Amino acid sequence: RDFTERCVQCSEVNWGLTDGGRFYCRTCHNVTERTREVVNTDFIPNTRVQTISKGLRNQEKTGIGCEWYVCEGFQFVLKKQAEALEALGVCPQMKNEVLYNFWRRYLQKSKQAYCNRPAGETVQALSACNSSTDVDSEADRPSFLHCLSLSESEGDLETDCSFASSASKISESASVCSGSVDGNLYLMKNQKEKLRMTMPMTLSFCYMALLWLREPVTLSDLLRFVVEGHIPYFNVFRHFPEKMKLCGLDLKIFCVESWPVYEEVHNKMLELAAFLDLPRFPDVTDSCFLHPDMLCMKYLMEANLPDELHNWTCRVVRKIGIGEADFLTLVPGNKSTRNVKYDVLAAALIVVVLKLLFLLDDHYEWLLSDFAEERNKNNKEGSPYFEFKKWYKVIKHSLDVEQKKLDEERAKYLWRCEKPLFYSANVKSKVLKRRQMVVNLQNQFGKLSGSVRPAEKPNPSSFLLSWSEENTDGSCFHGHSLKGILQEKRGLLAAMNPDYWLGTIKLCNEKLCGHPAHYREVDFPQSYHFVLRLFSFLLRMNPSYIHDEVCVIEHKLFYKKLCKKPKPNIRIRK
């Protein structure tokens, strides 16, 4: 009512107020640069407080978008990943309860929210930004923490006011280097003691939540779902809200141009659990999917091996005591216990059992295969005898085909996002033109070459290789018998093979060497390497990690014999 100037477009006096405090004409909807003067006498009499919304005006002019922090970006990534896992069938508690509490505890422990930020970091933020511009009021600072909350029922994160006000002092020249408020400071400051957040750590958070709920998803499954595109990870920032502009140093934080590494994600998960001071995780019992007995059954089916081998893996588990809850359950920060990689442990158990029964020395397994082949010629009834040679040919053909397909998919993968990104506002127009040129060239060459559009992603599955007993070509070995290689001793079935060779005589110190054993393909039989290659493909990891676990199991299994002098029937292979 106090603003009586006429509108420059329609000459009417009919003004309203926008959310930013500026006047607009209700007749022609023209927005002026004038802002409302707010008179407030509730606090100090005879004083006038005037607030000018510079932040919103600058955002609308330059298109920079709202202010946001790096932790808000990672929170959005975690939210998208949790929703994708829920779509895959994971328990809804993972997002709203478990993962949200882990993330909230991390923000508190790293002093990014739910705490009072030390004064030293405020000074560092100011000096790093070299700012000397006007300060926007705290009320004008937009926050995405509420709309991006992992739990829909929770409110805003209680970020520290001193840090928010100091971060808002960042000059416009500094904002060109980063779309986020604290992107440049995030990469500059030393946060070794605070476990600085990275993109691989988002997967560590997800796996930690899955492990807490004892969901039937191993770490290798999680990483495979990421690579196949079922879980947002690569170019996930394209799903950011439009107001969260990404440029400059933000690209180094949120852009990923490498495949996730099993060891890195697993080690970060252990560091996170210790950093958050989490209690002992729920027990992994024999009814849990992560128990070796359960996982061995899964990998035996996927590797197309006889079902009878499962009895042998269970015997090894009981023999060396790795099926107990105290051994399998994660206790954060407990350095006295060895951290279990459930999928690697199950694969290594199967390899040890195959060595016990077939030796895998490039000689004995072929002799047993010839013997089984002769028996099958005369065996017209009952289950056929398992032939290692035939199994080898079937698996090798399928493995070569799938490995070639995987290599081609990785070679053709486009790391660059379809949404153009730029490191500074000065080169934005050049990047957009270049991107449009690339798209036009791709479309033209596609029409000339007659290339077919890629098919839609297949539905995710826990099995990479599937075998059906209904096949008439005899390519499924699940129901095959091991009678040809077993003999009864003292009422129990035992292997006819009396020998065994060890992967290493002495285990190395993992803290010093990084591996309990060392693996080179030329030092081991080809049959052994083929089995390792099969499980390394299923788990998408280097064969050396499976070999390490095999050596650890062997030393537990033959501990008493290793303490004594080696006997002739225990051959040692360096």
Residue 364 and residue 265 in one domain = no
Greatest mean pLDDT range, 13-22, 299-308, 488-497: 299-308
Residue 187 lies in a domain: no
Residue 307 and residue 210 in one domain = no
Q: How many domains does the chain have?
A: 3
Evaluate if residue 217 carries a pLDDT over 70. yes
What's the burial of 122, exposed, middle or buried (CB within 10 Å: 0-12/13-18/19+)?
A: middle
Average pLDDT over the chain reads: 78
What is the maximum span of the chain, computed from C-alpha positions, in angstroms? Answer: 110
Q: Which among 525, 532, 522, 482 is positioned nearest to 501, based on CA atoms?
A: 525
Name the more confident of 509 and 363: 363
Please check whether residue 298 is in contact with residue 216, taking contact to mean a CB–CB distance below 8 angstroms. no
Residue 225 and residue 348 in one domain = no
Distance CA(252)–CA(255), nearest Å, equals: 6
DSSP alpha helix (H) spans, 359-387: 364-378
Residue 130 lies in a domain: no
Residue 272 and residue 315 in one domain = no
Residue 235 and residue 376 in one domain = no
Evaluate if residue 11 carries a pLDDT over 70. yes
Evaluate if residue 59 carries a pLDDT over 60. no
Residue 222 and residue 98 in one domain = yes
Q: Which among 47, 66, 71 is positioned nearest to 55, based on CA atoms?
A: 66
What pLDDT is stored for residue 122 in this prediction?
40
Distance CA(365)–CA(367), nearest Å, equals: 5
pLDDT, tens digit (0-9, with 9 covering 90-100), for 459-488:
788 888 888 776 666 688 998 999 878 887
Residue 181 lies in a domain: no
Strands 500-502 and 492-495 come out as unpaired
pLDDT, tens digit (0-9, with 9 covering 90-100), for 98-111:
999 999 999 998 88
Residue 389 and residue 469 in one domain = yes
Residue 513 lies in a domain: yes
**Rg value, the chain, Cα:** 31
Distance CA(394)–CA(387), nearest Å, equals: 11
Domain stop point among 244, 278, 312: 278
Distance CA(372)–CA(379), nearest Å, equals: 10
What percent of the chain has a predicted confidence (pLDDT) above 70? 73
Residue 395 and residue 512 in one domain = yes
Residue 476 and residue 401 in one domain = yes
Residue 497 and residue 469 in one domain = yes
Residue 346 and residue 262 in one domain = no
CA angle 494, 496, 500 (to 5 degrees): 95
* Ramachandran bin of 200, using left for φ above 0, alpha for ψ from -120 to 50, beta for the remaining angles: alpha
What pLDDT is stored for residue 561 in this prediction?
73
List the beta bridge partners of residue 570.
500
Residue bearing tokens 């004995």: 364
Q: Which among 164, 231, 247 is positioned nearest to 199, based on CA atoms?
A: 231
Please check whether residue 338 is in contact with residue 297, taking contact to mean a CB–CB distance below 8 angstroms. no
Residue 288 lies in a domain: no
Residue 143 lies in a domain: no
Q: Which among 45, 40, 9, 41 is positioned nearest to 27, based on CA atoms?
A: 9
Give the structural domain span for 549: 294-405+463-563
Residue 141 lies in a domain: no
Q: How confident is the model at residue 146 (pLDDT cuts 50, 70, 90)?
A: very low
DSSP alpha helix (H) spans, 321-387: 325-328, 342-358, 364-378
Please check whether residue 13 is in contact with residue 2, taking contact to mean a CB–CB distance below 8 angstroms. no
Residue 505 lies in a domain: yes
Domain stop point among 253, 278, 303: 278
Residue 383 and residue 470 in one domain = yes
Tokens of 521: 């393909």
Q: What's the full length of the chain, in residues? A: 574
